Amino acid sequence: MSQQQEQSIKQNQPLADASHIETDEQRRRFMEKFGKLAAITPIALTTMMSPANSAPPRSGCNRNGKGCR
Amino acid sequence: MMTVTKFSLNTDYLTLFVENDSALVFHHIKQSLFHLSPLSVSLLLALDQGVSEQQAIQQVLKASDCRQVDIESHLASVSDLFNKQPQEKHYLAEQYPEISRPVPEIDSCSSKCYCVNDSYFVIEADSVAFTDEVSRLLAPCRKHNKLIDFYVEIRQHSDHRFSFSCNGYCIEQSLPYEQLMPELIERMQVLAYQKSDYLFCFHGAALKNSNQCLLLPGVSGAGKSTLAAQLAQRGFALYSDEMMVLDPDFNLISLALPIAVKSGSWPVLTAEYPSLAKQSAWRKQDGRVVKYLWPQQFVVSPTPSCQMRLINPEFTAAEQGSECNEGFQEQPLTVIEALAVLTQSGYQVHQKLDINLVERLFVFLSRMTRSRMQYACSNSVLEKLSS
């Protein structure tokens, strides 16, 4: 971990690594890279974190409440 | 080393994070993080240029070997990412109601007052048997204080049926006796961390020894509590067997309450915890039967930062006749995989989730060793962690 990263954590600041997909060429390269993988990977878009599924964790329940009474 | 790279998009409320072949997108308005499959990334990048859906489909068709029908059927869910409607629910909505309710005035709490991470609970029950059980089990956290945070009342209202309330708020109206203790301890765990200045709580066990802090996230039944109880006999102090709570500096918070051991683990743990045989058995709401035991030592938080290690335990019973160590496997987890494990098991965020906080979470995860350990008996894991 770099000193800059450590400093960012201590100062509660985000990492200064914001890249922008600026050019059509860069966007095309990304689309190609993920496009090639798309045919061999299950199609999914899942919510990882959201106000809708943030709740006190409970043993025996998953985050959707399955397994709870 | 930070392996996650951030890309801003033309759509200013979406930020893309890429790690190898895996990607997430953060929706700033919805304060939500989504895991994208490669096809979702391709569609997102196409739509982000502002082209029509038909043009986006054509671009993705050109760049991939996917069938048009698959792309079309997935288009709606990716298009939804461009919806600017905020979520109706807020992250703070899941704070338990009794946190903000006034504590009723009570006379004295000397014998019924218990402390968990600076939160003081008075527990009153009209059942003599349950009062005795609480008094015995929670003796290590009995501590008197004039000011209390939570007044828990457990009242019997029919044969073997009890109501359970806290600060005058009714939590349960008709609990059977055998569910009282698990309900009480789980409520105390949550209230103790929700009362604190926490940032995130993830479901799992957390421990510390002189070398490292261990995070053991996982779904119920993965073996977290059993492993935590065994590690507690091998030089590890416990933060909690159920809640991995992080404060605003990403330090772990300790919740000193007994470990809930499910019936399947009693034979494994009885040799190391002989007192387990004498403990009362209780039933959780999901039907599993548990006994409680205290580890030798809890971490006194806050503690200075330590080298973090995340292990996602996956216990699978050994096949008959096979050697115990045969099933052991360890696979590294990427930052995104580790975050998926953490969130799948259950989590709570205490404040607005913004891009700054998401990045800090990635940095926190990128600093630690991350792996999944599949095992048929815990000896192989214990050996690995002791080496």
B277 vs B291: CA distance, rounded Å: 9
Same domain, B34 and B83: yes
User: Which of B159, B191, B223 marks a domain boundary?
Assistant: B191
Same domain, B211 and B354: yes
Same domain, B315 and B224: yes
User: Which of B168, B191, B214 marks a domain boundary?
Assistant: B191
pLDDT in tens, A24-50: 777 888 888 998 898 888 888 999 999
Same domain, B34 and B102: no
Within 13 Å and on the Cβ side, how many CA atoms surround B147?
A: 3
- CB nearest to A57's CB, from B33, B203, B286: B203
pLDDT in tens, B296-352: 999 986 666 789 999 999 888 766 666 666 678 999 999 999 999 999 989 999 999
Same domain, B47 and B26: yes
The pLDDT of residue B229 is: 95
Same domain, B103 and B66: no
The pLDDT of residue B387 is: 66
Same domain, B106 and B78: no
B120 vs B110: CA distance, rounded Å: 11
CB atoms B6 and A19 under 8 Å: yes
Q: Would you state the structure tokens that stand for residue A50, as one six-digit string? A: 């959201």
Evaluate if residue B384 carries a pLDDT over 90. no
Please report, rounded to a whole number, the percentage of residues in chain A having pLDDT higher than 70: 52
Name the one residue in this structure whose structure tokens are 């030592």. Answer: B297
CB atoms B339 and A48 under 8 Å: yes
Same domain, B53 and B113: no
User: Which of B59, B88, B117 marks a domain boundary?
Assistant: B88
Residues of B in contact with A62 (CB under 8 A): 219-220, 344-346
DSSP state of A64: T
B385 vs B387: CA distance, rounded Å: 6
- CB nearest to B286's CB, from A37, A48, A67: A67
Same domain, B80 and B166: no
Same domain, B218 and B185: no
Taking the CA of residue B65 and the nearest CA in chain A, the distance in Å comes to: 6
Same domain, B161 and B135: yes
How many domains is chain B partitioned into structurally? 3
Nearest to B290 by CA among B313, B266, B263, B272: B263
With both helix axes pointing from N to C terminus, report the angle between B68-79 and B53-63 in degrees, rounded to the nearest 10.
Answer: 130
CB atoms B285 and A32 under 8 Å: no
Nearest to A17 by CA among B2, B348, B33, B336: B2
Taking the CA of residue B107 and the nearest CA in chain A, the distance in Å comes to: 31
| A-B C-beta contacts closer than 8 Å | 208
Q: Which domain holds residue B277?
A: 197-386
- CB nearest to A51's CB, from B34, B41, B89: B89
Please report, rounded to a whole number, the percentage of residues in chain B having pLDDT higher than 90: 78
Same domain, B97 and B84: no
Interface pTM, i.e. ipTM:
0.89
